[in-house]
Structure 1
């Protein structure tokens, strides 16, 4: 019974990780900076993998999608690729894990189920590495821009 409980717990944990990464992708507040100088020039700039937005003092937001794929910075391409591939691999890993669990009736014999479960676990592991690498690349870029005294970005 404990083996079945462990399988179900691992399956639910991996599904929740997949949901969290998939829910993080469309969020707007990946990078936030504000200009709180005077009352007239106060504004907030926020950005994610897909668009840039600016909010002024009245609370009006103006968002603009990235115009060209070729004009994007390299780190955005890397982050997009890693995170989207992570979501796709996790989806297929969840399907393989569902077939490979011993408590399900589909998937064949125990030997076949163990091979499918191994492949699902490997798929989830690689997917987790991709998502951690994607988030780390984006965070490294933000930190290096923040601590660079000569960095000045005009949007």
Structure 2
């Protein structure tokens, strides 16, 4: 019972991490314009995401434009796109495997593949969390390095956006959910529902007793005294009724 609750708790955390990863991937708030120097008071605010670039005006107008060319994007942005999409796909695979492998579902109930499926779901959640964590950490490093670059104009400096913080939260949720699933499915959440079958070996059967010990041997055949000489003479015999063959040759 405890392992079932732990599996359900880990799956819910992984599902929340997956939802946060998808939202962070789609939001354009990865980099927001920094208000430094002469840009302390501005009428517009710029935001850059993985798929689009948006401008917010003080009048309330919000305009976004998708990136037109994939090859024209910088390599770090292309890598961030690929890693976040891969993290979402891995989370989908983890959710499917965890649903089929949890003890509270009816899929393959009583089968030996039940626990390995839940364990593979936990491992996939761990991989998805690591991919998301690598992406947001990389973006954070680039934003900080550009912000403190003295040769970069203040108009080109950005701050860490809301999507990056959401990505951190989603990555940690996926990691915790994956660890809980692995722990509960690997035998740490309690005893297994069914113990492995033990094959009892029977001692080998004793060999059958010897035939001679059951039935005594038959006595040797001895013909009766009256029948010893009571037999017909053979045609091919060398003697017959006391006469020899050479007497007639």
Q: TM-score, normalised by structure 2?
A: 0.57
Q: What value does the CA root-mean-square deviation take over the aligned residues?
A: 2.3
Aligned to 2:94: 93
Counterpart-to-counterpart distance in 2, 1:41 and 1:16: 36
Match of 2:84 in 1: 83
**1:35 Cα deviation after fit:** 5.5
1:116 aligned partner: 117
1:28 aligns with 2:33: no
- How many residues align? The count is 154
Counterpart residue number, 1:4 = 4
Give the unaligned 5+ runs of structure 1.
Answer: none
Residues 104 and 56 from structure 1, CA distance in 2 versus in 1: closer, same or farther, beyond 3 angstroms? closer
Over alpha carbons, which structure has the higher Rg? 2
Q: Which residue of 2 aligns with 1:66?
A: 67
In structure 2, the CA distance between the partners of 1:5 and 1:75, relative to structure 1 (3 Å rule), is same
More helix by share: 1
Question: In structure 2, what is the equivalent of residue 18 of structure 1?
Answer: 18
In 2, Cα distance between equivalents of 1:44 and 1:23: 21
How far residue 41 of structure 1 moved from its aligned partner, in angstroms, is 5.6
Question: C-alpha separation between the residues in 2 aligned to 1:79 and 1:41?
Answer: 29
Say which is worse superposed, 9-18 or 58-67, in terms of deviation: 58-67
- Cα distance in 1, alignment partners of residues 77 and 51 from structure 2: 9
> Does 1 or 2 have the higher relative contact order (CA < 8 Å, sep 6+)?
2
Find the residue that maps to 2:71 and give its secondary structure.
coil
Match of residue 135 from structure 2: 134
Any idea what the Cα deviations from partners look like across 1:16-54, whole Å, max 9, x if unmatched?
11011111112122211156848x963211111111122
* Stretches of 4+ aligned residues off by more than 6 angstroms: none
Write the deviation string for residues 46-72 of structure 1: whole angstroms up to 9, x where unpaired.
111111122334333332211211111
1:31 and 1:47 in contact (8 A); partners too: yes
TM-score (norm 1): 0.88
